Amino acid sequence: MNASTNVFQDRTHSQDKKISLSFVGDKLGLLIVFAVICVILSFLSPVFLKQQNLVNILLSASLVGVVSSGMTFVILSAGIDLSVGSVVALAGTTVAMLVNQGLAPAPAIMLTLLVGCCFGAINGFFITTIGVNPLITTLGTMMVFRGAAYIVSGGSAVYIQNEAFYKIGTGCLFGIQNPILVLIATFLVFYIILTKTVFGRNLYVIGGNKEAARLCGVTIRRYSYAIYIISGLMATLSGIILAGRMTSGQPTAASGLELDVVTAVVLGGTALTGGEGSMAGTILGVMIMTVFRNGLLLLNVDAFYQYIASGMLLLAAVTFDQLRHRKKD
């Protein structure tokens, strides 16, 4: 009995060591890719390393990054949420309307965040309770939420008539702009949840093998609801911050954001099949995606070609994910 136990422990230790080495290798590869892109852009554009441009990169990363945090949880559990871009737009128009109706910024923000949780709960209901495929569900709610944003705003931008609200998107603390601070805080909180809590560990189990998770006593339905609520909450938070930056809620905001977010998360090493990924990888994926987009703008690449380049980056991320899993198998 003792001998077999020792053999099992040795095998487990060996597997953990291989996983750890693979994790380090993947992140090192992403760091190299990120560094190479930065070096190339610094030569191609004299503006790239300017302080203002670096701040712009971080501000852009804050929008994608906060949403990507919630998406990491979703994809880790073998799900998908294509409604996040529409939620960002609907959240922005909602908070703008509430503030313009005379509600103070703080309660308007809290109420909008609560509504955002309801958006996520709607996705969770159809996926978990009804059993509809996550892709189909969130594709449907993507259109529903976008349409709702147009209805709430009357089809045009809702300019916010409260300068105090602008501070959430344009204010600074310790010389750092608020959206960047929110991004840092979000990544830290989500990193701790994934690595230090039972909730985080169970996400990996659910994504890796739902039946095994069920046999271990994990209440998958409850977790699925929580995951989509978190995704809706983070998209709503991004929408509120974006409204503060733009001083308005716009129904057209964040169009196509869902694809940027999925690209960043998958590029960061989170498996589309679930059960594998990390916040560290998501951070790197977000930065690579943001710098890549920033470089296209600095080089005055035509918008049509930017669509092609972004699509190719998504295909590259998914292809890399598939090849990585074939190699492990």
Q: What is the pLDDT of residue 217?
A: 83
Q: Distance between the two ends of the chain, CA-based, in angstroms?
A: 30
Average pLDDT rounded to a whole number, residues 307-313: 88
Q: What is the pLDDT of residue 15?
A: 37
Using a CB cutoff of 8 Å and minimum separation of 24, what contacts does 19-24 make?
A: 22/328, 23/269, 23/278
Ramachandran angles phi, psi of 158, nearest 5°: -105, 100
pLDDT band at 26 (very low <50, low <70, confident <90, very high): low
- Contact status, residue 281 vs residue 26, Cβ threshold 8 Å: yes
Cβ count within 10 A of residue 195: 12
| SS3 (DSSP) at 93 | helix
The Cα 278–Cα 134 span in angstroms is: 21
Average pLDDT rounded to a whole number, residues 165-177: 90
Angle (deg, nearest 10), helices 198-208 and 220-246 = 110
Q: What is the pLDDT of residue 25?
A: 53
The Cα 240–Cα 95 span in angstroms is: 7
The Cα 229–Cα 225 span in angstroms is: 6
Average pLDDT rounded to a whole number, residues 163-168: 91
- In sequence order, the β-bridge partners of residue 248 are 159
Residue 6 has pLDDT above 60, yes or no: no
CATH architecture for residues 48-328: Orthogonal Bundle (1.10)
Average pLDDT rounded to a whole number, residues 306-310: 88
pLDDT over 90 percentage in the chain: 72
| SS3 (DSSP) at 11 | helix
- Nearest in space to 146 (alpha carbons), one of 135, 133, 158, 155: 155
Which ranges of 247-328 does DSSP label H, i.e. alpha helix?
257-267, 279-298, 303-328
Say which range, 39-53, 141-155, 307-321, has the weakest mean pLDDT.
Answer: 307-321
What pLDDT digit, counting tens, does each position of 104-161 carry?
999 999 999 999 999 999 999 999 999 999 999 999 999 999 999 999 999 999 999 8
Q: What is the pLDDT of residue 322?
A: 77
Residue 23 has pLDDT above 90, yes or no: no
pLDDT over 70 percentage in the chain: 91
pLDDT band at 28 (very low <50, low <70, confident <90, very high): confident
Cβ count within 10 A of residue 252: 13
Q: What is the pLDDT of residue 328?
A: 62
pLDDT band at 197 (very low <50, low <70, confident <90, very high): very high
Q: What is the pLDDT of residue 254?
A: 92
Residue 29 has pLDDT above 90, yes or no: no
Residue 3 has pLDDT above 60, yes or no: no
The Cα 285–Cα 184 span in angstroms is: 15
Ramachandran angles phi, psi of 176, nearest 5°: -115, 135
Using a CB cutoff of 8 Å and minimum separation of 24, what contacts does 145-148 make?
A: 145/83, 145/86, 145/87, 145/89, 145/90, 145/119, 146/85, 146/86, 146/89, 146/90, 146/251, 148/90
Which is it for strands 172-173 and 158-159: parallel, antiparallel or unpaired?
Answer: unpaired
Residue boundaries of the structural domains of the chain: 48-328
Q: What is the pLDDT of residue 44?
A: 93
Q: What is the pLDDT of residue 149?
A: 97
Residue 21 has pLDDT above 60, yes or no: no
- Model pTM above 0.85: yes
If one compares 11 and 116, the residue with the highest pLDDT of the two is 116
Read off the tokens for 106.
Answer: 């703080």
Cβ count within 10 A of residue 299: 11
What are the residues whose beta carbons fall under 8 Å from the beta carbon of 191, sequence distance 6 or more? 279, 280
Q: What is the DSSP letter of 249?
A: E
- Contact status, residue 187 vs residue 65, Cβ threshold 8 Å: yes
Q: What is the pLDDT of residue 11?
A: 37
pLDDT band at 223 (very low <50, low <70, confident <90, very high): very high
pLDDT band at 13 (very low <50, low <70, confident <90, very high): very low
Write the single-letter amino acid at 326.
Answer: R
Ramachandran angles phi, psi of 162, nearest 5°: -145, 105
Read off the tokens for 126.
Answer: 């159809």
Q: What is the pLDDT of residue 19?
A: 43
Cβ count within 10 A of residue 45: 17
* Mean pLDDT, all residues of the chain: 89
What pLDDT digit, counting tens, does each position of 240-293 carry?
999 999 999 999 999 989 999 999 999 998 998 898 999 999 999 999 999 999
